[in-house]
Structure 1
Amino acid sequence: MTLVNFNNRTRNTAPYFNNVFDSLFSDAITKNKMVNKSPNVNISETESAYVIDIAAPGLKKEDFQINLKKDTLSVWAEVKKEETASAKDFTRKEFDYSSFARSFNLPESADGDKITAEYKDGILSINISKKDDSKLQHKEIVVS
């Protein structure tokens, strides 16, 4: 194997040349990583409920749709791009909004009638209450 020294001085003498290629390659890599990106999710459980937290900054509460069909909770958001009459002449534009969808299979102990959602500080919190029967199912069994 041969090691090749990197000449950092060339990069400083002709930065415009190297930056063109860096920009092309880094944009292509970044865009490919973001193609099928869905937001990160935290799921926690308390004695009385399940909580699903979805990190979705930059959206409004009107952008979300949440549906429950049988035991599957579906969450999706779509941001529609608005065309303005006065279009700006961008040198580089990185703002790009799209849509995402996530589905969660709920356990039998989840109460589909008692689901609430709140969007605050870029986090969508979905609170799914447990059925009353499931709260009382925990008991200690004595070994004889």
Structure 2
Amino acid sequence: MKTLAKRNANGHPSNWLSELMNRELFDWNSNNFSNTGTTLPAVNIKENEEGFTVEVAAPGMQKEDFKVEIDNNLLTISSEKQDEKVEQDGEKFTKREFSYQSFQRSFTLPQGMVKEDKIEAKYQDGVLYLMVPKKDEAKKKAPRLIKIS
């Protein structure tokens, strides 16, 4: 019997978590981009028995600067921030500095493994945290001793 399995470049069956972790940061086809030429924020993804934690390093931002969406197993984190600073020195000199930065990072969640409606987010100390809980059937079950009769 033949089964369909996605394979990596070495011909080995692929693992969705390793694909998620090894996704090319500057692969523009992966829907990760920054429109200002700046670097994208670094992302850590941790997995435990209960779910996944996504950490996005974004110092200097406010929670209102972020937009987090999930659509058809695609988790998208984006931000747009615009700053305007005006300095005046009497009537002789006026200086204006405009700053605009935005980014978008997208991650494909494992099909049927997470509770999309239970994803939570918080921004603390320059890091955006997303808690993505696993469905009960996706959690690793403890070994069970089978009694022999």
TM class by shorter chain equals 0.5 to 0.7
Match of residue 8 from structure 1: none
Match of residue 122 from structure 2: 118
Cα distance change of structure 1 residues 136 and 88 upon mapping to structure 2, 3 Å threshold = same
Gaps of 5+ in 2: 1-35
Letter in 1 for 2:40: S
SS in 1 for 2:83: coil
- Residue 101 in 1 paired to residue 134 in 2? no
SS in 2 for 1:57: coil
SS in 1 for 2:41: coil
TM-score normalised to structure 1 length: 0.63
Number of matched pairs: 106
Select 1:133's aligned residue among 125, 134, 137.
137
SS in 2 for 1:62: helix
Runs of 4+ in 1 over 6 A off after TM superposition: none
How far apart in 1 are the matches of 2:45 and 2:101?
24
Greater strand share, structure number: 2
Gaps of 5+ in 1: 1-33
SS in 2 for 1:98: strand
Contact map agreement 2:87 2:94 (CA 8 A) in 1: no
Aligned sequence identity (%): 36
Cα distance change of structure 1 residues 88 and 54 upon mapping to structure 2, 3 Å threshold = farther
TM-score normalised to structure 2 length: 0.61
